[in-house]
């Protein structure tokens, strides 16, 4: 089959690789129907996150089950399924608690020895613990399929940020970052009942989506200027809940600074600024909490899927471009240059 391989910074290729097969009785092989490129893939693309030469890449996909091992009971060949961005055994203490990202048998797509999501098929370890079945008839509805693809990462991650930040009905929320996760954070905050949602971002096409997702205000500034703007919009108090969806030193600093005393920052941007943006003195004086991390998407997919199917939420607009598998390198380039927000891969 053909799959996306990373050879080094700015060197993404689509190559012939061995076809995946069921190796263990708990495996399934899934034929990819839709996949996509994540903002976090760009850290590897840019050489900021280290990758071995020749490693697979991509961690978001949905598809049709092609074959299953003897012990797989929840999905069967022909089923339409979505995978969260980590696999997990589904039976350990952490999986039972809904923190599948800490499953001792879990792993991240594309790590050495595993398939990535940006390929024609994927061997899925612990299929029962990992995959979530989707309605078969969704295959004929491209918009719905796209919305469901978002559950594998961005929508679940935006939801994790909102949950971690403690978004409650009536809350004032600020969202730092206008990438796909930030936008999904706006949608998640709206879904959880936020009354006021301030989106921080300077890219007009993106903040326009933020508004359709429920943002009531947009702050097109950064740093101290952005902090002042949010304070002004909130009567000087700041936001009860702040979603940090970037992962840099500056974004973390801004997130903490715009939080209301006693409020919380829900952070899901992969931290690339170390702890330098974490102003612990300010957090201490104002009782601002810092919660979040890698989102246990598997825990969230069922409830978010229900809302996608009912039409209550539709994250599909975060995908503003699509490429066939051979176009994946162009997709990375477009996202790196910010000419595309999030690129869908069609098969």
Binding stretches for a second copy (CB under 8 A)? 93-94, 97, 99, 101-102, 164, 237, 252, 261-262, 264, 267, 270-271, 274-276, 278-281, 283-294, 296
The length of the chain in residues reads: 347
**Whole-number minimum distance, CB 178 to a second copy, in Å?**
21
Q: What is the 3-state secondary structure (H, E, C) of 105-123?
A: CCEECCCCCCCCCCECEEE
d(CA 346, CA 122): 15
Residue whose CB is less far from a second copy, 267 or 300: 267
80 strand-pairing partners = 64
Cα within 13 Å of Cα(224), Cβ side: 0
3-class DSSP state of 249: helix
Residue 10 or 275 with smaller CB distance to a second copy: 275
Residue 215 Cβ vs a second copy, minimum distance, rounded to whole Å: 24
User: Between 221 and 270, whose beta carbon lies closer to a second copy?
Assistant: 270
Q: State in angstroms the smallest separation of the CB of 246 from a second copy.
A: 13
CB 197 within 8 A of CB 259: no
Shortest distance, position 39 Cβ to a second copy, whole Å:
15
Query: At 21, which helix (H) or strand (E)?
Result: none
Closer residue to a second copy in complex, CB, 33/264: 264
Q: Which is nearer to a second copy, 69 or 271 (CB)?
A: 271
Minimum distance between the CB of residue 291 and a second copy, rounded to whole angstroms? 4
If we measure between CA atoms, which residue out of 277, 98, 312, 12 comes closest to residue 192?
A: 312
Give the Cβ contact number of residue 257 at 10 Å.
Answer: 23
> What is the DSSP annotation of 38-55?
-TTHHHHHTTSS---TTE
We find the least distance from the C-beta atom of residue 166 to a second copy, in angstroms, to be 10
- Report the distance separating Cα 314 and Cα 96, nearest Å: 28
Closer residue to a second copy in complex, CB, 281/311? 281
CB 54 to a second copy: min, Å: 24
DSSP character string of 123-155: EESSHHHH-EE--GGGGG-HHHHHHHHGGGTHH
Instruction: State which residue, 47 or 262, has the beta carbon closest to a second copy.
Output: 262
């Amino acid at each position: 089959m053909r799959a996306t391989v990373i050879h080094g910074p700015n060197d993404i290729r689509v190559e012939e690789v061995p076809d995946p097969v069921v190796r263990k009785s708990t495996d399934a092989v899934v034929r990819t129907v839709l996949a996509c490129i994540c903002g976090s893939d760009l850290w590897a693309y840019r050489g900021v996150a280290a990758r071995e030469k020749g490693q697979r890449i991509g961690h978001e996909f949905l598809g049709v089950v092609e074959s299953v091992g003897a012990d797989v009971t929840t999905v069967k060949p022909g089923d339409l399924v979505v995978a969260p961005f980590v696999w997990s055994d589904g039976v350990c203490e952490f999986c039972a608690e809904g923190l599948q990202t800490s499953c001792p048998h879990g792993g991240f797509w594309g790590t050495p020895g595993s398939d990535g999501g940006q390929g024609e098929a994927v061997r899925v370890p612990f299929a029962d613990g990992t995959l979530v079945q989707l309605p078969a008839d969704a295959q004929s509805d491209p918009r719905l399929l796209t919305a469901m693809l978002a559950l594998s990462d961005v929508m679940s991650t935006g939801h994790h940020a909102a949950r971690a930040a403690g978004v409650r009905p009536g809350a004032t929320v600020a969202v730092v970052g206008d990438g796909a996760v930030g936008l999904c954070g706006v949608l998640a905050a709206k879904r959880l009942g936020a009354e006021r949602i301030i989106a921080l971002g300077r890219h007009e096409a993106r903040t326009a989506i933020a508004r359709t997702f429920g943002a009531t205000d947009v702050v097109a500034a950064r740093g101290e200027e952005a902090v002042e703007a949010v304070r002004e919009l909130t009567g000087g108090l700041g936001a009860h809940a702040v979603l940090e969806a970037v992962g840099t030193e500056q974004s973390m600093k801004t997130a903490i600074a715009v939080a209301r005393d006693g409020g919380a920052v829900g952070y899901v941007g992969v931290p690339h600024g170390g702890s330098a943006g974490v102003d612990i003195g300010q957090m201490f004086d104002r009782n601002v909490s810092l919660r979040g991390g890698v989102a246990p998407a598997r825990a969230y997919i069922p409830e978010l899927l229900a809302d996608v199917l009912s039409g209550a939420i539709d994250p599909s607009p975060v995908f503003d471009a699509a490429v066939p598998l051979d176009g994946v390198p162009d997709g990375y380039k477009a996202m790196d240059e910010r000419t595309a927000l999030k690129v869908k891969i069609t098969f």
